[in-house]
């Protein structure tokens, strides 16, 4: 039985999580179908290389949760797919629930590990703000939203079939009329493989350049704790945590962040966590892979200098 993965674009680019979904799909089935809405053949190629056998293109004009759920359900039925993988992104979270209702299946959200088969999936997901993990077995039909950066992207070669679907979005009650760009993240937090985050320990907004310089050198996105956001030092779009963004980068560098449970909820699944904090008792050190007990205003510029030497 096939597995269906819903690809997501950002502007003209295929989001990396789309490739993670088709790669994850191969753990469940030898037939992975990707649904590509408003994408190009170049996007389809990227999906094939990451694990898709079939890419179904659909030209639904604009995003709406009902419309996407209707199209995805129709394509899943046409391809005989009972397990549907969706990015755990703002958009994916928006339509996954509707899609689960539409296909009469269960919904597992914010999954970080997946295995099993296209009849029964086994997933692992953080619960209680990342304090514990739940392992679930779900019989198909099932909709699974997968946390960006949690899955390895494989290199795949095989048949590359592009099909088109005229599945319609149907009656749509709510429409997105406008998106206003926020404060302007240089690199999107959710997709970043390295994140440098600052908390109350950075003392004030005038000190962001200390962290931004390190971001620029290593190609990281800039994150923040809620304390920094609530103080008005930076836009909410940068907030990591329970009431901010959930991230799963390869490396998360926490600077002057104590490590409250609500912050850990958003970054606890990072592969490597580096904590820089002058308080050796700060809870962030309990989850850190590497800890530096020192003043961030000494450590961060020193790191930036060293990375500049290595990376040029
Ligand atoms: C319902 C709810 C939702 C929440 N959601 C979120 C959320 O999404 N994200 C989030 O982050 N928080 C969230 N919070 C808030 C959370 O509980 C903490 O208050 C917040 O994370 C603390 O931010 P902080 O670590 O920057 O500040 P603090 O806890 O004040 O920590 C600052 C740290 O900086 C260190 N420090 C100070 N100066 C230096 C220096 N020069 N060099 C190195 N270290 C230094 C200190 O030792 C300290 O550990 C939420 C709270 C609630 C109740």
In this prediction, residue 185 carries a pLDDT of 63
Residue 181 confidence (pLDDT) above 80: no
Of the residues 133, 165, 197, which one is the last residue of a structural domain?
A: 165
DSSP structure string for 44-91: HHHHHHHT-SEEEEE---S--HHHHHHHHHHHHHHHT--EEEEE-SHH
**Cα 201 to averaged position of ligand 1 atoms, centre (Å):** 8
* Residue 302 domain flag: yes
Window from 52-66, 95-109, 249-263, 296-310 with minimum mean pLDDT: 52-66
Residue 183: band (very low, low, confident or very high) from pLDDT cuts 50, 70, 90: low
Residue 137 confidence (pLDDT) above 80: yes
* Residues 193 and 159 grouped into a single domain: no
- Based on the structure, what is the number of domains in the chain? 2
* Residues 112 and 201 grouped into a single domain: no
Give residues (CB < 6 A) around ligand 1. 199-201, 225-228, 239-244, 256-258, 260, 262-263, 266, 276-279, 282, 295-297
What domain range includes position 220? 189-311
Report the alpha-carbon distance of residue 93 to residue 83 in Å, rounded: 16
pTM of the model: 0.84
**Cα 74 to averaged position of ligand 1 atoms, centre (Å):** 45
Measured in residues, the chain has a length of 312
* Residues 19 and 126 grouped into a single domain: yes
Residue 270 confidence (pLDDT) above 90: yes
**Cα 109 to averaged position of ligand 1 atoms, centre (Å):** 26
* Residues 22 and 133 grouped into a single domain: yes
In this prediction, residue 81 carries a pLDDT of 98
* Residues 23 and 157 grouped into a single domain: yes
What Cα–Cα distance (Å) separates residue 129 from each residue in 71, 242, 260, 296?
32, 7, 11, 27
Strands 83-87 and 54-58, bridge-based pairing: unpaired
In this prediction, residue 129 carries a pLDDT of 78
Residue 268 confidence (pLDDT) above 70: yes
In this prediction, residue 175 carries a pLDDT of 81
* Residues 32 and 147 grouped into a single domain: yes
* Residues 21 and 152 grouped into a single domain: yes
* Residue 172 domain flag: no
In this prediction, residue 200 carries a pLDDT of 98
Q: Quick check: helix, strand or coil at residue 37?
A: strand
* Residue 269 domain flag: yes
Rg (CA), the chain: 20
* Residues 207 and 289 grouped into a single domain: yes
Q: What CATH number is attached to the domain comprising 254?
A: 3.40.50.1220
* Residues 16 and 155 grouped into a single domain: yes
Mean pLDDT for 115-131 is: 92
């Amino acid at each position: 039985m096939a597995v269906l993965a819903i690809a997501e674009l950002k502007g003209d680019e295929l989001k990396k999580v789309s490739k993670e979904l088709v790669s994850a799909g191969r753990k469940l089935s030898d037939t992975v179908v990707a649904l590509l809405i408003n994408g190009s053949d170049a996007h389809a190629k990227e999906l094939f290389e990451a694990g898709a056998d079939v890419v179904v293109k659909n030209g639904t004009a604009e995003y709406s949760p009902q419309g996407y759920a209707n199209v995805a359900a129709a394509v899943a039925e046409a391809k005989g797919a009972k397990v549907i993988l969706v990015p755990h992104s703002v958009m994916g979270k928006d339509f996954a629930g509707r899609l689960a209702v539409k296909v009469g299946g269960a919904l597992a959200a914010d999954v970080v590990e997946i295995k099993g088969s296209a009849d029964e999936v086994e997933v692992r997901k953080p619960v209680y703000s990342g304090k514990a993990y739940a392992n679930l077995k779900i019989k198909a039909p099932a909709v699974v939203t997968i946390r960006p950066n949690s899955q390895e992207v494989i290199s795949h070669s095989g048949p590359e079939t592009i099909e088109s679907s005229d599945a319609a979005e149907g009656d749509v009650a709510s429409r997105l009329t406008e998106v206003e760009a926020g404060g302007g993240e240089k690199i999107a937090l959710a997709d970043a493989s390295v994140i440098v985050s600052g908390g109350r320990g950075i003392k004030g907004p005038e000190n962001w350049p200390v962290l931004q310089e390190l971001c620029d050198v290593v190609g990281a996105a800039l994150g923040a704790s809620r304390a920094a956001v609530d103080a008005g030092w930076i836009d909410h779009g940068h907030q990591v945590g329970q009431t901010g963004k959930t991230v799963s980068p390869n490396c998360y560098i926490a600077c002057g962040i104590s490590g409250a449970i609500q912050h850990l909820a958003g970054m606890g699944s990072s592969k490597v966590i580096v904590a820089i904090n002058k308080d050796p008792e700060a809870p962030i050190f309990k989850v850190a892979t590497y800890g530096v007990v020192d003043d961030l205003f000494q450590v961060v510029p020193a790191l930036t200098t060293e990375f500049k030497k290595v990376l040029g």
